Amino acid sequence: MLRRNCLLLFLCFLFEQSSCAPFQSRPGQEWPHSQTGPSAAGRNGGSKGFQRVKRGWVWNQFFVLEEYMGSDPQYVGKLHTDLDKGQSAVKYTLSGEGAGTIFTIDQITGDIHALRSLDREEKPYYTLRAQAVNIETNRPLESESEFVIKVQDINDNEPKFLEGPYTASVPEMSPVGTYVMKVTATDADDPTYGNSARVVYSILHGQPYFSVDPKTGVIRTALPNMDREVKELYQVLIQAKDMGGQLGGLAGTTTINITLSDVNDNPPRFSKSIFHLRVPESSAVGSAVGRIKAHDLDTGKNAEVEYNIVPGDGGAMFDIATNEHNQEGIIMLKKPLDYETKKAYTFKVEASNAHLDPRFHNFGPFKDTATVKINVLDVDEPPVFSKPSYAMDVYEDTPQGTIIGAVTAQDLDAGNSPVRYSIDWKSDLDSFFDIDPVRGTISTNELLDRESIAQHNISVVATKVNNPVLTSRVAVTVHVLDINEFPPELAMPYETFVCESAKVGQVIQVISARDQDLPQAGQRFSFKSPQEGVKTKNFTVRDFGNNTAGVVTLRGGFRRRSQEIYHLPVLIEDGGLQTLSSTSTLTIRVCGCDTDGSLLTCSAEAIFLHVGLSTGALIAILVCIVILLVIVVLYVGVRRQKKKETLMTSKEDIRDNVIHYDDEGGGEEDTHAFDMGTLRNPKVIKENLFRRDVKPELGLCPRRPIASQNSADISNFINQRLQEHDGDTSAPPYDSLATYAYEGEGSVAESLSSIESVKGETEEDYDYLNEWGPRFKTLAGIFGERSESQSDVTSSTTTENKH
């Protein structure tokens, strides 16, 4: 390396205008660059005009090997400036970290040496400053420059486990590859240079039970079926070696104490197969009659034992419990003993673990059985039931008188008295059950309903016939089983809506169902639409298979203008033995929604306004409506101000309608208006005729003078007026009604009303009223009688002129 540096310095002297460096930095590292000052020639004033300023210092980063053990100072590198022409006019100075104590420089040549061995782990690099000065005047020739000397790493540190020794635990009987723990070793060497800090793990002691991953340090089990009862503690020695595990690398070790934790892989075992006990007949119920024990090799909860008496002849008389402190089975007397009836009892006791591990079921049954023989000493007793309690099942709605089970009790005395059974009325107040007093069979007395009472607890009494004072009681639990009698229904009333912007296949509602029945293993519902055969539909029901379903759109483009409400029937079926179903109808409203699907409104007034209209658009529409209303009002006002009266449009014209009466006594309810407009024929109107509703000019229609009120001949006056109207050419060209009701003041002719006119009635033929039907029968009879009896002529007449 020294030879290479010298060659580079020589090339720098040959080519002063180019820059060179004695050392090349490794890729990816950045080091401070040298600072340049004015050239020596510029300072001496030897050059004129603009000259190129050469770089003052020529070097790059320096490296020094750590832990150098040589006798001579370690050469670091050379400093050189282009102002140094080799005439010994320049000297070099060094300052900064370790200058003079760790590093020294030859003032003439610029060579830098390290005076002592360096440790990279203590300090990885040093920052120094160098300067070239005139050897005679001691004035600086260049500005002071800063450079770095990096300590190059060597493999002088072994990997270390900072947290060791370690303690770990793994369950026994674990499969191969079960994770135990992870260890990590650290190396103080430079991880970015070489393989000095690349650690590889290996196991030195602990095989073949455990293994370690060479890269990660993860320890796993390597041997299957390691049994804690055989060996519980393992000591494993782990080695971490640097240099990637190659030869010459440094290594460190640590110890791991691994304990196998217990699992329930051992069943309990009795020390002997038969236990003999002696019990006096006078022993009190609930007293302990003996102790037995089953041993379990496991520990803790895995060693807890449960004892049970196997049902049999003697087992109903005794009970057994577990002592939590020593796991012994304490046999207790459950019922009174009777020497005359039974002198000895033999039953089996089963010992089993309370906490089973399903992984070891294939090892066999985790229980053991022992026989217990109990000899009874002579004592009297009441009847004894064969079981301490009874449980019976019956389906609801079972017919009355159905036998659901039986209880059995016997007298153990020498007399062997018969036993009679009865149900305690306090436990069955509603008399749901009945019992045969001799056989003990229990039957239903009424229909049972699970939804009302799901479980009945009754007490059966057994009494000795020869001694009714000695009685025994037993509890009977009757479970009412459910039958599928209620169809499923929707879980709640759903308020479903669909957005007008809904897409095809979008789920707009998730529904669920409920059932009053109690299934054996959870409720199961299925949903579907009963309209599967219809081709064009708006919605359908999609069953999700988890007792829920979704309402799915089959099309898009819903509009409240077209249809606001849709009805979707949903068929729900349960999973009972006899499947029941029901159909519910979902009401789906079409609503306006936001862009993200949020509900805006479902009201009817919002139908006529598009959801997307802005406020400005709504204001513009309202302004247009107001302008149109103003125009209409102005137009109507102008039309009303015109003085133009059309034919027969005045409200004061009494000739528009002819009032006629179809019945004699109906009053206003039978009065109908007859529109005279239908008789108007514009074809017969002549231009030269005068209009009745317009005042004619004078002299066009001469009229006779009106009769005086004092004239006695009223009939002549009326005839004159009649002729005047008949000859009037200014009359309108349609039928009109002219009434001559004026009778004068003090006239002897009395009223001229057509109702009281005898002449008008006699001249009219009312036979046509008989042809009008039953409604006019009474009117036809009245007018028929008057036409025969009346002969006087009234003094006033109402005449209808037809033109």
Residue 66 in this model has a pLDDT that exceeds 60:
yes
Of 233-242, 618-627, 683-692, which gets the smallest average pLDDT?
A: 683-692
Distance CA 410, CA 342 (A): 11
Residue 22 in this model has a pLDDT that exceeds 50:
no
Residue 730: per-residue pLDDT: 67
Distance CA 522, CA 556 (A): 37
- What number of CA atoms fall less than 13 Å from residue 538's CA on the CB side? 21
Distance CA 125, CA 30 (A): 13
Residue 434: per-residue pLDDT: 93
Distance CA 356, CA 301 (A): 10
Beta bridge partners, 94, equal 130
User: Hey, which of 43-57, 115-129, 158-172 has the most confident mean pLDDT?
Assistant: 158-172
Residue 309, phi-psi category: left (phi > 0), alpha (psi -120 to 50), beta (remainder): beta
Residue-range domains of the chain with CATH: 61-152 (2.60.40.60), 160-261 (2.60.40.60), 269-377 (2.60.40.60), 384-481 (2.60.40.60), 489-600 (2.60.40.60)
Q: How far is CA 351 from the centre of its chain?
A: 48
Residue 378 in this model has a pLDDT that exceeds 90:
no
Residue 751: per-residue pLDDT: 56
Number of Cβ atoms within 10 Å of the Cβ of 246: 11
Compute the average pLDDT of residues 587-592.
Answer: 89
Omega within 30 of 0 (cis) for the link into 124: no
Residue 785: per-residue pLDDT: 63
Coil/strand/helix, residue 350: strand
pTM, full prediction: 0.38
Distance CA 729, CA 700 (A): 9
Which is higher by pLDDT, 393 or 655? 393
Distance CA 114, CA 789 (A): 167
The share of the chain scoring above pLDDT 70, in percent, equals: 71
Q: Which of 680, 682, 700 is nearest to 690 (CA)?
A: 700
Q: Which of 98, 36, 23 is nearest to 63 (CA)?
A: 23
Close Cβ partners of 651 (under 8 Å, ≥ 6 residues apart) = none
Beta bridge partners, 63, equal 150
Compute the average pLDDT of residues 312-336.
Answer: 86
**Residue 244: both structure tokens together:** 């990637």
Compute the average pLDDT of residues 361-366.
Answer: 76
Residue 625: per-residue pLDDT: 93
Residue 28, phi-psi category: left (phi > 0), alpha (psi -120 to 50), beta (remainder): left
- Cβ pair 115, 104 in contact under 8 A: yes
Close Cβ partners of 47 (under 8 Å, ≥ 6 residues apart) = 41
Compute the average pLDDT of residues 181-202.
Answer: 84
Residue 214 in this model has a pLDDT that exceeds 60:
yes
Q: For residues 75, 79, 85 and 87, what is the CA-based torsion angle, rounded to 10 degrees?
A: -50
Distance CA 718, CA 730 (A): 20
- Cβ pair 509, 494 in contact under 8 A: yes
φ, ψ for residue 588 (rounded to 5)? Answer: -110, 120
**Confidence grade of residue 686 (pLDDT, cut at 50, 70, 90):** very low
Residue 454 in this model has a pLDDT that exceeds 70:
yes
Burial of 758 (0-12, 13-18, 19+ CB in 10 A): middle
Residue 501: per-residue pLDDT: 84
Task: Give the start-end residues of each E strand in 595-753.
Answer: 599-601, 657-661, 671-675, 736-739
**Confidence grade of residue 144 (pLDDT, cut at 50, 70, 90):** confident
Which is higher by pLDDT, 624 or 770? 624
Helices (H) and strands (E) in the chain, counts: 6, 44
Beta bridge partners, 346, equal 373
Burial of 492 (0-12, 13-18, 19+ CB in 10 A): exposed
Residue 18 in this model has a pLDDT that exceeds 50:
no
Which DSSP category does 676 fall into?
G
Burial of 478 (0-12, 13-18, 19+ CB in 10 A): buried
Distance CA 20, CA 540 (A): 83
At 719-777, the pLDDT tens digits run 877 777 777 766 665 566 666 555 555 555 555 555 554 444 445 667 777 777 777 77
Compute the average pLDDT of residues 275-300.
Answer: 88
**Confidence grade of residue 180 (pLDDT, cut at 50, 70, 90):** very high
Coil/strand/helix, residue 109: coil
**Residue 42: both structure tokens together:** 């510029």
Close Cβ partners of 86 (under 8 Å, ≥ 6 residues apart) = 13
**Residue 433: both structure tokens together:** 């059950």
Residue 161 in this model has a pLDDT that exceeds 80:
yes
**Confidence grade of residue 127 (pLDDT, cut at 50, 70, 90):** confident
Residue 700 in this model has a pLDDT that exceeds 60:
no
The share of the chain scoring above pLDDT 90, in percent, equals: 17
> Order of strands across the sheet with 200-205?
166-171, 251-261, 233-241, 200-205
Compute the average pLDDT of residues 120-146.
Answer: 84
CA distances from 798 to 676, 738, 740, 751, 787 (A): 18, 7, 6, 12, 18
Compute the average pLDDT of residues 127-151.
Answer: 85
- Cβ pair 518, 482 in contact under 8 A: yes
| Long-range contacts, stretch 708-711, CB < 8 angstroms, 24+ apart | 709/744, 709/745, 710/744, 711/744
Omega within 30 of 0 (cis) for the link into 208: yes
Residue 16: per-residue pLDDT: 39
**Confidence grade of residue 466 (pLDDT, cut at 50, 70, 90):** confident
Residue 735: per-residue pLDDT: 60
What is the average pLDDT score of the chain?
A: 75
Of 209-223, 396-410, 506-520, 684-698, which gets the smallest average pLDDT?
A: 684-698
Residue 631: per-residue pLDDT: 93
Residue 692 in this model has a pLDDT that exceeds 90:
no
Residue 799 in this model has a pLDDT that exceeds 60:
no
Residue 88: per-residue pLDDT: 72
Q: Which of 444, 514, 499 is nearest to 476 (CA)?
A: 444
Residue 763: per-residue pLDDT: 55
Residue 500: per-residue pLDDT: 86
Residue 379: per-residue pLDDT: 57
Place of tokens 């707009």: 508
